[in-house]
Amino acid sequence: MNGDLIVKDLHVSVEGKEILKGLSLEVKKGEIHALMGPNGSGKSTFANTLMGHPKYEVTSGDILWKGESILEKETDERARLGLFMAFQYPVAIPGLTFGSFLRAALNARLAPADPHANGKVPTKKGMPPKEFRELLRKQMKMLKVDDSFATRYLNDGFSGGEKKRAEILQMAVLKPEIAIMDETDSGLDIDALKVVSEGVNALAGPHLGILVITHYNRILNYITPSRVHVMIDGRIVTSGGPELALELESRGYDWVREEVSSR
């Protein structure tokens, strides 16, 4: 329970329209889960809801992390508790270097919260610059990321592959306990996909649970999931092992829809 992300019968609406219609899922640290489904099935809505995006309204159900509900917690609080999301379309921020951004994020992740500020404001100065630079260089070397990343502006002028590698580098430095990867394979050529997958595999282990959200099977050729879940119309309708992803690749999603409609 201490390392489990548990989603119970989650219903979520966006601007009055119900998108998630009773979704349940459990991801433990040390596991890699793949969530697959056709476009419009609610996968990105689920990812954003897990991280507390204010656009998405939870109308019923619960999200438990380490045995406690996180529905009332803001996005930054969830991040400090060990949840992380790699975006499908990372935002560029000209003027802010990647290194400065990452050090600020790490210090917020590590620092205890001010007890008089409702748990929202980190205290202490965090990791010294020299120690941070050593950590960053170590992780960049492990993930085969060019040293120039640290001084470039955040995602500004980055290629699609560089943006996704930057997301994996954030995972390496911030050391989350659950990482949600929202269609990280989107827009990547085969070489960039291999590099990103190698990074994920290098970080995978007993202290990290990973939820890979994807439309296609191709990233699962390089990252082997513990479980594969299929999402249709806001619900997880079937689950299985890695072989389920191969079946979806060869047969598409229509057979899953047919099974659901015949129940």
pLDDT 10s digits, 210-263? 999 998 888 999 999 999 999 999 999 999 999 999 999 889 898 888 887 777
The 3-state secondary structure of 24-35 reads: EEEEECCCEEEE
Backbone angles phi, psi at 86, to 5 degrees: -95, 125
Sheet with strand 17-28: strands edge to edge: 17-28, 4-14, 57-65, 68-69
pLDDT at 204: 92
- Statement: residue 119 has pLDDT above 60: no
Rg (CA), the chain: 19
Report the pLDDT averaged over residues 106-123.
63
Residues above pLDDT 70, as percent of the chain = 94
Helix, strand, coil share of the chain (percent; to 5) = 35, 30, 35
User: First-to-last CA distance in the chain?
Assistant: 32
CA angle 75, 77, 78 (to 5 degrees): 65
pLDDT 10s digits, 223-238? 999 999 999 999 999 9
- The conformation of residue 148, written as its DSSP 8-state character, comes to G
CA–CA separation, 101 vs 90, rounded Å? 14
pLDDT at 125: 63
What would the two tokens of residue 119 be?
A: 């748990």
pLDDT at 187: 78
- Statement: residue 186 has pLDDT above 90: no
| Alpha-carbon 260 to chain mean position | 27
3-class secondary structure, 202: helix
Side chain identity, residue 219: I
Decide if 164 contacts 196 (C-beta within 8 A): yes
pLDDT at 83: 96
What would the two tokens of residue 72 be?
A: 């009332």
Query: Average pLDDT, whole number, for the chain?
Result: 90
Q: Which region holds residue 30: left if phi is over 0, alpha if psi is between -120 and 50, else beta?
A: left
C-alpha torsion angle, residues 193, 195, 198, 199 (rounded to 10): -110
pLDDT at 192: 83
CA–CA separation, 253 vs 256, rounded Å? 5
- Statement: residue 33 has pLDDT above 70: yes
Which structural domains are found in the chain, ordered by start?
4-91+161-261 (3.40.50.300)
- Statement: residue 189 has pLDDT above 80: yes
- Statement: residue 77 has pLDDT above 70: yes
Q: What's the chain's length in residues?
A: 263
Can you give the pTM of this predicted structure?
0.90
Side chain identity, residue 145: V
pLDDT at 121: 53
